[in-house]
Amino acid sequence: MNTKSFEVLIHSQFAFHKCRSEVHKYEDCRQTTSPIPKDPRLCKEKAKELVGCYKEAERMHPLCLAPFNDVRECVFKADGNIFNCKKEAQQFVDCQMDQEKYQDFLSLSTDKQKEALQFDFFNYRGHFDKYS
Q: Say yes or no to pLDDT of 2 above 80.
A: no
Provide mean pLDDT across the span 104-132: 68
Nearest to 50 by CA among 73, 26, 32: 26
What tens digit of pLDDT does each residue of 56-85 get? 888 888 888 888 888 888 888 887 777 888
Per-residue confidence (pLDDT) for residue 132, from 0 to 100 = 47
The more confidently predicted of residues 121 and 33 is 33
What is the DSSP-derived secondary structure letter of residue 119?
-
What is the Cα–Cα distance from 82 to 10, expressed in whole angstroms? 8
Distance, C-alpha 21 to centroid of its chain:
16
- Report which secondary-structure segment, H or E, holds 6: helix 3-18
What tens digit of pLDDT does each residue of 80-114 get? 777 888 888 888 888 888 889 989 988 888 887 77
Buried-exposed string 32-46: b where 16+ CB fall within 10 A, e elsewhere: eeeeeeeeeeebeeb
